[in-house]
Amino acid sequence: MSESSIKIENVVASTKLAEEFDLTLIESQFEGAEYNKQKFPGLVYRVSDPKAAFLVFTSGKVVCTGAKNVADVHTVIGNMAKKLNSIGIKTIENPQITVQNIVASADLHTILNLNAIAIGLGLENIEYEPEQFPGLVYRIDEPKVVVLIFSSGKLVVTGGKSPEDCERGVEVVRQQLDNMGLL
Amino acid sequence: RLRKWQRRIRVSNATERNLAFALSELDRMASALGLPRTVRETAAVVYRKAVDKNLIRGRSIEGVAAAALYAACRQCSVPRTLDEIEEVSRVSRKEIGRTYRFISRELALKLMPTSPIDYVPRFCSGLNLKGEVQSKSVEILRQASEKELTSGRGPTGVAAAAIYIASILCGERRTQREVADVAGVTEVTIRNRYKELAEELDIEIIL
DNA sequence: GCTTTAAAAAGTAAAGT
DNA sequence: ACTTTACTTTGGAAAGC
């Protein structure tokens, strides 16, 4: 019924793979790893099977960004654990992986009048400053996501913890615009 | 009791001193931008409301003053861009924009996004263009708005393109560079906007 | 608040050909 | 003029300034 045809563009997740990490050691063993403690406390490491980027911290915590699926997040983190094991670093067996944010795009396939939408949704509920950015920012409480609405009818949904949050967010926007006769 | 009395005086002094500083800042910036008294007064009202609601906490007086002036210009329909406000203030555009969003929400200013039409009088006078060209520009912008050619585009860029076209139609042609300079956008933006306007509104531009 | 990561949307900008 | 690169906005975690 409401297959919003959402396209997930990026998934951000965090987990803990060990109690602590020697980032200098990892930097020397991992090809392409970047670590500048004074610039940023985390080590940056990019992988390309499923494409993703890691931020590894001395606490053993890891942030994974850039994955296109929630499943890929688990895959790349599993691969990361194996790579760490291969250089003699032990990791936690079944790490608890938390999806922190999902960025998705969608398309309403209609040209939109952002001024009318701004009034329709209520100026106090939106932010629309075309001088600074072409998109209208709409924050939704349920699901708790932020939707960027463009005059082209394209949308960007972010802040969701699951793909369902993103799809519901798009539906909320679609329905509200429809109810106001702006679709 | 005496301590409390003295403290009140101190607080009062500090409050008055800060307010005086803020108002002088508003005056300095408004003068630098050549803004009329009504706008300065509006900005002062916005600033005082911000003070009354304790919105200055954690923010610099300069930042709130700059944001108040930015908001006042919009309320009075004589908008200045964040870049223009930044030039006369000691705060970054990012900080001004952030503070503006904050006070705009907290004071429920409910301002519509800046209309390209509000830039026409200032840009035209800066180009020494008469009322006829201004009227033509506004007419073009109204049509552009109806045909959905302004959503998401920078107001100054759209206004500049409309003025560029109007100046040609009225036989008082200004170059893209001249218009771009007064509008604070690049020639590329004028070109992109005017091509879109000319095509969608079926306006023939003979150079 | 900042720093760093990734990605999309559309507009604007700057640099190089 | 055209192409490429890059910055604007949104969200979230990480450790530390």
Q: What is the mean pLDDT of chain A?
A: 97
Q: Does A29 map to a domain?
A: yes
* Same domain assignment for residues A119 and A76: no
Residue A82: inside a domain, yes or no? Answer: yes
Q: Both A17 and A82 in a single domain?
A: yes
CA distance A158 to chain B (A): 19
Same domain, yes or no, for A95 and A131?
no
A95 and A12 inside one domain: yes
Give domain status of residue A124, yes or no.
yes
Give tens-digit pLDDT for B36-89. Answer: 999 999 999 999 999 999 999 999 999 999 999 999 999 999 999 999 999 999
In a domain, A18, yes or no: yes
Task: Report in angstroms the alpha-carbon separations of A86 from A35, A135, A136.
Answer: 20, 46, 48
Q: What is the pLDDT of residue B121?
A: 98
pLDDT at position B7, please? Answer: 84
The residue to which tokens 């409910």 are assigned: B110
Contact residues, B window 88-107, toward A, CB-based 8 Å cutoff: 97, 101, 105
Distance CA A106, CA A66 (A): 18
Determine the average pLDDT of the residues in B26-32.
Answer: 98
- Residue B8 buriedness (CB in 10 A; 0-12 / 13-18 / 19+): exposed
DSSP collapsed to 3 states, B145-198: HHCCCCCCCCHHHHHHHHHHHHHHHCCCCCCHHHHHHHHCCCHHHHHHHHHHHH
- Tell me which of A99, A125, A143 is where a domain ends: A99
Residues of A in contact with B152 (CB under 8 A): 114, 130, 134-135, 150-152
Out of A99, A121, A142, a domain closes at A99
Q: Say whether the CB atom of A176 is under 7 angstroms from strand D.
A: no
How open is the CA angle B159-B161-B165, to the nearest 5 degrees?
115
Residue A3: pLDDT band (50, 70, 90) is low
Chain B: closest CA distance from residue A112 (Å): 8
Phi, psi of A146 (to 5 degrees): -120, 130
Instruction: Tell me the per-residue pLDDT of B97-123, one tens digit each, with 9 for 90 and over.
Output: 999 999 999 999 999 999 999 999 999
CATH of residue A17's domain is 3.30.310.10
Q: Are residues A114 and A157 in the same domain?
A: yes
SS (H, E, C) B112-153: CCCCHHHHHHHHHHHCCCCHHHHHHHHHHHHHHHHCCCCCCC
Instruction: Please check the confidence at residue A1 and state whether its pLDDT lies above 70.
Output: no
In this structure, are A15 and A95 located in the same domain? yes
A133 strand D contact, CB < 7 Å: yes
Decide which of A66, A99, A132 is a domain's last residue: A99
Average the pLDDT over B125-134 and give the result: 98
Check residue B161 and give its pLDDT. Answer: 98
CA distance B63 to A68: 40
Domain membership flag for residue A2:
no
- Cβ A114–B152 below 8 Å, yes or no? yes
Q: Do A174 and A128 belong to one domain?
A: yes
Q: Is B171 left (phi over 0), alpha (psi -120 to 50) or beta?
A: left
- The amino acid occupying position A179 is N
| A37 within domain boundaries | yes
Q: Total structural domains in chain A?
A: 2
Mean pLDDT of A125-150: 98
Element (H, E) at B97: helix B93-106
Domain match, A12 and A85 both: yes
The C-alpha atoms of residue A88 and residue B66 are separated, in whole angstroms, by 57
Residues A37-88: tens digit of each pLDDT: 999 999 999 999 899 999 999 999 999 999 999 999 999 999 999 999 999 9
Indicate whether A56 and A120 sit together in one domain: no
Backbone angles phi, psi at B8, to 5 degrees: -65, -40
Pick from A114, A131, A134: CB nearest B114: A131
Q: Domain check: are A13 and A95 in the same one?
A: yes
Residue A95 belongs to what domain range?
7-99
Lowest mean pLDDT among A149-153, B5-9, B143-147: B5-9
Residue A137 near residue A148, CB atoms below 8 Å:
yes
Query: Is the C-beta atom of A12 closer than 7 angstroms to strand D?
Result: yes
- HSE of B6, CA atoms in CB hemisphere, 13 A: 3
The more confidently predicted of residues A111 and B205 is A111
Is A57 part of a structural domain of the chain? yes
Q: CA–CA separation, A166 vs A91, rounded Å? A: 32
ipTM of predicted assembly, 2 dp: 0.96
Segment B5-9 mean pLDDT: 85
Whether nucleic acid strand D comes within 7 Å of the CB of A63, the answer is: yes
Q: Which positions in chain A touch B81 (Cβ < 8 Å)? A: 131
In a domain, residue A1? The reply is: no
Do A114 and A66 fall into the same domain?
no
* Most A CBs within 10 Å, among B151, B156, B185, to test the A interface: B151
pLDDT digits (tens, 9 = 90+) for A103-134: 999 999 999 999 999 999 999 999 999 999 99
Across the interface, do A132 and B82 touch by the CB < 8 Å criterion?
Answer: yes
pLDDT digits (tens, 9 = 90+) for B83-103: 999 999 999 999 999 999 999
The pLDDT value recorded for residue B3 is 83
Average pLDDT over residues A156-166: 98
Please give the nucleotide, over all strands, whose C1' is closest to the CA of residue A148: D10
pTM beyond 0.80, yes or no: yes
Q: Using a 7 Å CB cut-off, which residues contact strand C? A: A 9-10, 12, 34, 39-42, 44, 46, 51-53, 55, 63, 65-66, 101, 103, 105, 133-135, 148, 150-152, 154, 156, 158; B 94, 98, 152-154, 157-158, 184-186, 188-189, 192-193
A11 and A84 housed in the same domain: yes
Place B27 in a pLDDT band, splitting at 50, 70 and 90: very high
Q: What letter represents residue A103's amino acid?
A: V
